[in-house]
């Protein structure tokens, strides 16, 4: 069975600093995809970034990057130069399976 | 704007009532899914569809039915509402392959 684990219920980061949100996964599939989504306080879900299991390079999308370590089964999200608007819940997902989320607060 | 449209945004039901949550997308996405979001539990998959005429159960399907008669529409039916179905419901769609979901704005359902 597949599993997604986010062990950080809440994180704080100073504005303009970088922050890493942890995500580990478990699957017996050889081919799989890992996703990160953002949920602001307004409630909508926003797709941020995707990493395929066969991708050799770590995915990047603007200030978001995915630190993919296949052997360790981890897919951590790195947000660089944090902004106040980054305060939100962040969910890691593998295909249709979601983790429990990490609440990020950016401190001015 | 193209996207996933969910209605209604809010709904209060009495125990035992039935209702249908509507979901429509205009992006010609093959995959459509229904999730429920409860505090501390992330999003849990209720039902999903890989194309018109094809549906399957997710992690928490009991008490819910779906159908997919067209590519665009994927309604979720609550057969006999229970307080345990109080939740926020999200409909989502995506293309097959390496694409993330596009989510609807959600339906906040309260069963009293």
Q: What are the pLDDT digits (tens) for A70-104?
A: 999 999 999 999 999 999 999 999 988 999 999 99
pLDDT at site A90 = 98
Residues 6+ apart with CB under 8 A from B59: B44, B45, B46
Instruction: Give A10-37 pLDDT, tens digit per residue.
Output: 999 999 999 999 999 999 999 899 999 9
The answer to whether A1 contacts chain B (CB < 8 Å) is no
pLDDT at site B98 = 66
The answer to whether A45 contacts chain B (CB < 8 Å) is yes
Token pair belonging to B30? 């093959």
The answer to whether A57 contacts chain B (CB < 8 Å) is no
DSSP letter (8 states) at residue B101 = P
Q: Do A43 and B105 touch (CB under 8 A)?
A: yes
- Angstroms from B101 CA to nearest CA on chain A: 7
When pLDDT is averaged across residues A44-56 and rounded to a whole number, the result is 93
Q: Do B40 and A100 touch (CB under 8 A)?
A: yes
DSSP character string of A35-104: EEEEE-TT---EEEEEEETT-SSPPEETTEEEEEETTTTEEEEEE-S--GGG-EEEEEEETTEE---EEE
DSSP letter (8 states) at residue B73 = B
Q: Do A43 and B88 touch (CB under 8 A)?
A: yes
Residues of A in contact with B43 (CB under 8 A): 45, 91, 93, 98
d(CA A90, CA A53): 21
The answer to whether B63 contacts chain A (CB < 8 Å) is no
Residue of A nearest to B107 (CA): A43
pLDDT at site A81 = 97
**Among A44, A96, A100, whose Cβ lies nearest the Cβ of B105?**
A44
pLDDT by position in tens, chain B (length 112):
679 999 999 999 999 999 999 999 999 999 999 999 998 888 999 999 999 999 999 999 999 999 999 999 999 999 999 999 999 999 999 998 767 899 999 999 999 9
Measured over the CA atoms of residue B49, residue B53, residue B54 and residue B60, the dihedral's sign is positive
The answer to whether A64 contacts chain B (CB < 8 Å) is no
- Angstroms from A91 CA to nearest CA on chain B: 8
Q: Please check the confidence at residue A41 and state whether its pLDDT lies above 80.
A: yes
């Amino acid at each position: 069975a597949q599993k997604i684990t986010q062990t950080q219920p809440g994180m704080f980061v100073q504005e303009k600093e970088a922050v890493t949100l942890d995500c580990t996964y478990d699957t017996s599939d050889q081919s799989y995809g890992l996703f990160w989504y953002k949920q602001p306080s307004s409630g909508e879900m926003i797709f941020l970034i995707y990493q395929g299991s066969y991708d050799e390079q770590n995915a990047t999308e603007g200030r978001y990057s995915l630190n993919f370590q296949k052997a360790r089964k981890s897919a951590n999200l790195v947000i660089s130069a944090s902004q106040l608007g980054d305060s939100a819940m962040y969910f890691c997902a593998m295909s249709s399976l979601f983790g429990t989320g990490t609440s990020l607060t950016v401190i001015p | 704007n193209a996207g996933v449209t969910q209605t209604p945004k809010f709904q209060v039901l009495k125990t035992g009532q039935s209702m249908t949550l509507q979901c429509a997308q205009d992006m010609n996405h093959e995959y459509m899914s229904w999730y429920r979001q409860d505090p501390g539990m992330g999003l849990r998959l209720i039902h999903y569809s890989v194309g018109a005429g094809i549906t399957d159960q997710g992690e928490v399907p009991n008490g819910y039915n779906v159908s997919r008669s067209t590519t665009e529409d994927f309604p979720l039916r609550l057969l006999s509402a229970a307080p345990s179905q109080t939740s926020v419901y999200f409909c989502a769609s995506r293309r097959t392959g390496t694409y993330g979901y596009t989510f609807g704005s959600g339906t906040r359902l309260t069963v009293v």
